[in-house]
Amino acid sequence: MKTILTVLSICIFLSSHVVAQVEEESSSSKSNSPISEFKHSINICPIAPIFGFYSINYEYLISPKNGIVARFDYEDVPNTYTDASIESSGIGFTLNYRRYLSEDINSIFLGAYTRYRIYEGSGELNSKKFDLTLQSYSIGLNAGKRWVWNSGFNIVFSLGYGIDINNREANPTGNSIESTLDQFEKEYEFMSPFYGEFSIGFSF
């Protein structure tokens, strides 16, 4: 949770410093701006690697106010959350629909997302090794804003939340291992329906 709050604080700070410049550009004549012609956007999260997280997404505007986003995430999970020193990593795929409030992507948007994540790893507890697999299926709503410059450079900030269905498998199983995995999920809180995005990229 501390990591999430840190990321959100950085996102809000950075976003507040670009609003003035973006508003100045948006006040110029739209007929002379290429922004209305942009249909594609490719973005990455610039601060995620600090936390062992990598994210890339692609958006396509199927109409002036409707976009579809495909996002891929990879995460290397720290092994410091339990005494079992669980080594794990995971991938996630998100499909996100966005409804823009103006006729181009330089706009506030409302959306709905569905996401699948799977984490695999191994640990050792009381000299007993075990493997684990964690799966998560999420669906929810989100809202955000994309700021776009005439050059195509863009910044996206979005937050969302929904419902989550989790599935966990461990081999072998046992009360002590299950308790350790309960602690692992609780401490890291990665199996939650929270959705967040702070990304930079290029629109064209």
Q: Would you say 155 and 21 are in contact if contact means Cβ atoms under 8 Å apart?
A: no
Q: Would you say 49 and 56 are in contact if contact means Cβ atoms under 8 Å apart?
A: no
| Cα first-last separation, the chain | 35
Indicate the pTM of the whole model. 0.79
Domains of the chain: 2-27+39-203 (2.40.160)
Reduced to 3 states (helix: H, G, I; strand: E, B; else coil), residue 156 is strand
Region 44-69 average pLDDT:
94
Q: List the Cα angle 160/163/167 in 5-degree steps.
A: 125
| Residue 13: Cβ-neighbour burial (10 angstroms; 0-12, 13-18, 19+) | exposed
d(CA 93, CA 114): 9
Q: Would you say 193 and 138 are in contact if contact means Cβ atoms under 8 Å apart?
A: yes
Q: For 5-45, how does the pLDDT look when each residue is reduced to its tens digit (9 = 90+)?
A: 455 455 555 544 544 454 444 444 455 678 989 999 999 99
Q: For 137-186, how does the pLDDT look when each residue is reduced to its tens digit (9 = 90+)?
A: 999 999 999 999 999 999 999 999 999 998 999 998 888 888 888 888 87
